[in-house]
Amino acid sequence: MTASTATTATYRQPGVVLTDRFFTVPLDHDDPDGEQIELYAREVAAAGRNTAELPWLLYLEGGPGFGARRFVGREAWLGRAVEDYRVLLLDQRGTGRSTPVNRQTLPLRGGPAEQAEYLTRFRTDSIVRDCEVIRTAVTGGAPWTVLGQSFGGFCVTRYLSSAPEGLAAALLTGGLPSLDAHADDVYRAAYPRIERKVAAHYDRYPQDIARARRIAEHLAEHRTVLNGGYRLTVEAFQSLGIMLGGGDGSHRLHYLLENAFVRTATGPQLSDGFQEEVQTALSYAGHPLYALMHEAIYAQDNRPTGWAAERVRAEFPQFDAERTLATDAPLLFTGESVHPWAFHCDPSLAPLRETAETIAQRADWTPLYDAGRLARNEVPVAAAVYHDDMYVDTEHALRTARTIRGLRTWVTDEFEHDGLRAGGPRVLDRLLSLVRGEA
Active site residues: 150, 364, 417
Closest CA to 293 of 173, 416, 88, 125: 125
In sequence order, the 6+-apart residues with CB closer than 8 A to the CB of 325 are: 213, 216, 217, 220, 234, 331
Q: Give every CB contact of residue 63 below 8 A, 6+ residues apart in sequence.
A: 92, 95, 150, 151, 152, 287, 289, 290
Cβ 157 vs Cβ 136: under 8 Å: no
Q: Name which of 144, 120, 124, 149 is nearest 134 in CA terms.
A: 144
- CB of 393 closer than 8 Å to CB of 178: yes
Q: Looking only at Cα atoms, what is the longest distance across the chain?
A: 70
As a three-state string, the secondary structure of 41-84 is EEEEEECCCCCCCCCEEEEECCCCCCCCCCCCCCCCCHHHHHHH
Burial class (CB in 10 A: 0-12, 13-18, 19+), 426: middle
Is 73 in contact with 13 (CB distance < 8 Å)?
A: yes
Q: 86-91 and 56-60: which strand pairing?
A: parallel
* Eight-state DSSP code of residue 306: -
Q: Are 226 and 275 in contact (CB under 8 A)?
A: yes
Q: What's the CA dihedral at 93, 98, 103, 104 to 10 degrees?
A: -150
Chain-centroid distance, C-alpha 387: 19
Rounded Cα distance between 51 and 71, Å, is 21
268, β-bridge pairs: 263
Question: In sequence order, what are the residues at sequence separation of 6 or more whose Cβ sits closer than 8 angstroms to the Cβ of residue 391?
Answer: 150, 174, 245, 335, 336, 417
* Residue 1, beta-bridge partner list: none
3-state secondary structure of 252: helix
Find the length of the chain.
439
Residue 214 in contact with residue 261, Cβ under 8 Å?
Answer: yes
